Amino acid sequence: MSEEGQQSISSRDLAELLGANPWQIRKDFSYFGGFGTPGVGYKVEKLAKQINKILKLDVIHKAALVGVGNLGSVVLAYPGFRIYGFDIAAAFDTDSKKIGRKINNVMIEDASNLWMLKRRKIYIAIIAVPRDTAQETADALVKAGVKGILNFSPCYITAPRKVKVITIDIAMDLARLPYYMPAS
Amino acid sequence: MSEEGQQSISSRDLAELLGANPWQIRKDFSYFGGFGTPGVGYKVEKLAKQINKILKLDVIHKAALVGVGNLGSVVLAYPGFRIYGFDIAAAFDTDSKKIGRKINNVMIEDASNLWMLKRRKIYIAIIAVPRDTAQETADALVKAGVKGILNFSPCYITAPRKVKVITIDIAMDLARLPYYMPAS
DNA sequence: CTATGTGAATTTATTCACAGCA
DNA sequence: TGCTGTGAATAAATTCACATAG
């Protein structure tokens, strides 16, 4: 909207766009202080900035990818991270055939060098390794000072409470569909 | 657990395993009738069956993949769908170089034949096409009688209310991490 | 004795309704 | 007049506590 020159938006329009209702929008924003203008609505640009601040997306985050297989390569090639302020600054693999090569301008490094992440101030990692090495990868990442992990391996991962782990299992997401579908 | 020979599990153990509390587990199950045994717990095998039934995962679901690019190929190669009873029964693409080839024993068909899905009784589809063709792909799928869509394109998709759409945007999932991470 | 299932109590979230500001 | 922000009212979810079944 900002790019399209729209100045402001009302809670009603925003609600319709999101499939919610206006009260919810206003109440939710009010919990963070309320940043609208009565009679006008929410200034689009200001709103976006506030939301980014709330979600801590107001700074560039460096992230590391571990596992440059099929899925890992897709992640490296994915252009969508930039709009949220992410920079895939490193990639790791155990396969010596891959180490040293570059994908999308990112050099693939030896996975035994994960400990260097702390020195490089990278606190976010994406795990895209086979299921049976996911936990040990996570352990290494935690040891390297990583504070947030996005896990693509289809398994639960244990980590200290202060490390946030989000697991994405595309099969599980697919499995959510039948429940909502009318009787087939 | 079933494979490991474990007969039953208590709400307490289940809660610990899931990071929840026992009351929640029991209350949730009770909403669906309650299928535990006082003094013993929940029979593992029976519980799994009940949950599959609730989630409508107690039958085999055929699914179609649209878009066999980088991400689509990963989806085709992904072994994890089977445990939830999914069968990727068809794959489509617009690229004539890909049409006719087989990946993971699935023949890639011409995307203009999507309408055949109805005849083949496939009601679930996975969209893995570029963002700018995602909506038209969804429209074609809806027209072909699809009732559930898993969308991997990073964009909102509009569909009739009776068609359930779940969108996965890996960048957005990554973007959830900073909020939970301690101040860096 | 042990662990479920469930009403009741409590907490949390959503919706309403309207005062007040641009 | 139009739309926000927010207390109050309503609805929903979670937690408790205990009767009851194996």
Contact: A148, B180; criterion CB under 8 Å: yes
B27 CA to D18 C1' distance (Å): 15
A40 CA to D8 C1' distance (Å): 25
Q: Are B81 and A171 in contact (CB under 8 A)?
A: yes
Question: What average pLDDT does the segment A40-47 reach?
Answer: 97
Considering only CA atoms, name the residue closest to the C1' of nucleotide C17. Answer: A23
Taking only Cα atoms into account, the Rg of chain A, rounded to an integer number of angstroms, comes to: 20
- Global pTM reads 0.94
> H helices then E strands: how many in chain B?
7, 9
* Predicted local confidence at residue A44, as pLDDT: 97
Is the C-beta of residue A155 closer than 7 Å to nucleic acid chain D?
no
- Which residues of chain A lie closer than 8 angstroms to B179, CB-CB? 54-56
CA proximity to A73, closest of B71, B155, B128, B68: B71
What tens digit of pLDDT does each residue of A131-156 get?
999 999 999 999 999 999 999 999 98
Within 13 Å and on the Cβ side, how many CA atoms surround A135?
A: 5
Q: Is B111 exposed, middle or buried (0-12, 13-18, 19+ CB in 10 A)?
A: buried
* Predicted local confidence at residue A183, as pLDDT: 80
> b or e along A91-115 (b: 16 or more beta carbons within 10 Å of the residue's beta carbon)?
bbbeeeebbeeebeebebbebeebe
What tens digit of pLDDT does each residue of A110-127 get?
999 999 999 999 999 999
Place of tokens 């490991």: B4
Note the helical H segments in B81-160. Answer: 134-143
Q: Are A52 and A60 in contact (CB under 8 A)?
A: no
* Predicted local confidence at residue B183, as pLDDT: 80
Q: Which amino acid is at A146?
A: V
CA proximity to A115, closest of A86, A75, A142: A142
Dihedral of alpha carbons A137, A142, A143, A146, sign: positive
What tens digit of pLDDT does each residue of B59-75 get?
999 999 999 999 999 99
Q: Nearest nucleotide to A23 by CA–C1' distance? A: C15
What tens digit of pLDDT does each residue of A69-125 get?
999 999 999 999 999 999 999 999 999 999 999 999 999 999 999 999 999 999 999
Local mean pLDDT, 10-residue blocks, chain B (184 residues)? 94 95 98 94 97 97 98 95 97 98 97 98 98 98 98 94 94 96 80
Chain A interface mutation, best of B1, B177, B181, highest count of A Cβ atoms under 10 Å:
B177
* Predicted local confidence at residue A176, as pLDDT: 96
* Predicted local confidence at residue B34, as pLDDT: 87
CA proximity to A140, closest of A111, A167, A110, A183: A111
User: What φ, ψ does residue B93 adopt, rounded to 5°?
Assistant: -155, 165
A114 CA to D7 C1' distance (Å): 53
What tens digit of pLDDT does each residue of B106-140 get?
999 999 999 999 999 999 999 999 999 999 999 99
